[in-house]
Amino acid sequence: MRHTPPLAPQFYVTAPQPCPYLDGRMERKLFTALQGEGAERLHDSLSKQGFRRSQNVLYRPACVECAACMSVRIKVVDFHPTRGQKRTLRRNAHLRRKASAPWATEEQYDLFRRYLDSRHADGGMADMDVFEFAAMVEETQIRTRVVEYVDQDSDTLNAVCLTDVLDDGVSLVYSFYEPELQANSLGTHVILDHIEIAREAGLPYVYLGYWVPGSPKMGYKARFSGLEVYSGGAWAPLRDAQAYDASMHPLSTDPISEQVANIKLPGLRPISR
């Protein structure tokens, strides 16, 4: 029998677990399933409210005493590359961009494994096998692309980005690259090229996920001009990155019930408590 999902999505909270970005803290996520005919509209709406996609789940941080994680996006019209970013583009001018439907390949997985083993050997994805990798790439209810960066001279795969297409931008879900080419700043190149992808498509934003003040892993995101942060229920230009801190306070976040009540759903008013 076919069961139609409820019109209003159901939201849940994960159990606390160690934060991967800031030592000594516990993280918790608010999440909902991405399913049904309205999946794309729901994804677009919640992405503008700080949510991220992982396969068929949308989530955002909902920690008890910490509000350090902030969703960030680049406003394309306000982006101007630094001299270092221009050098990165020149250094990778030999790469050819190839965008395709979300389909996993052995070549992608081999590169993914080399990247994890070199950069994130102790991370949460370290044990991901080829079937889990395929699920990460292929299980999507929305418009998703795999963007590959191939060396035109050797025809080898240097970088990959799993990219969602929103009604107002592109969202970098997950990217990985050849660790032996660290000097080429491939991670930065992928972001710079997605700014160009958005510009070519007439889309105003590039969504980069979360920026965490005080976390060295996330510091690179603050180096892009035109950056906006989602904080207090609204997007605003990034001030001096040093003006943001990751201090903990018991009143830094709203109760889960209030967070859910303030979520705006496509075509509906905020959820009532």
Q: Are residues 60 and 86 in the same domain?
A: no
Counting beta carbons within 10 angstroms of the beta carbon of residue 62, is it exposed (0 to 12), middle (13 to 18) or buried (19 or more)? buried
Residue for token pair 């997985």: 109
Q: Are residues 78 and 118 in the same domain?
A: yes
Q: Are residues 65 and 84 in the same domain?
A: no
Q: Are residues 222 and 93 in the same domain?
A: yes
C-alpha gyration radius of the chain: 19
Number of domains, the chain = 2
Q: CB under 8 Å to 138, separation ≥6 — which residues? A: 102, 103, 104
Q: Are residues 57 and 99 in the same domain?
A: no
Residue 3: what pLDDT?
39
53 phi, psi to nearest 5 deg: -105, 140
Tell me, yes or no, whether 5 lies in a domain.
no
Range(s) of the domain holding residue 185: 73-243
Q: Are residues 195 and 105 in the same domain?
A: yes
Tell me, yes or no, whether 1 lies in a domain.
no
Amino acid present at 133: F
Q: Is 111 helix (H, G, I), strand (E, B) or coil?
A: helix
Tell me, yes or no, whether 125 lies in a domain.
yes
Taking 50 as the pLDDT cut, the residues of the chain under it are: 1-6, 270-273
Tell me, yes or no, whether 271 lies in a domain.
no
Q: Are residues 62 and 107 in the same domain?
A: no
Q: Are residues 123 and 205 in the same domain?
A: yes
Residue 136: what pLDDT?
95
Residue 131: what pLDDT?
95
Q: Are residues 54 and 151 in the same domain?
A: no
Distance CA 80, CA 77 (A): 8
Residue 2: what pLDDT?
41
Q: Is 33 helix (H, G, I), strand (E, B) or coil?
A: strand
pTM for the model: 0.90
78: CATH: 3.40.630.30
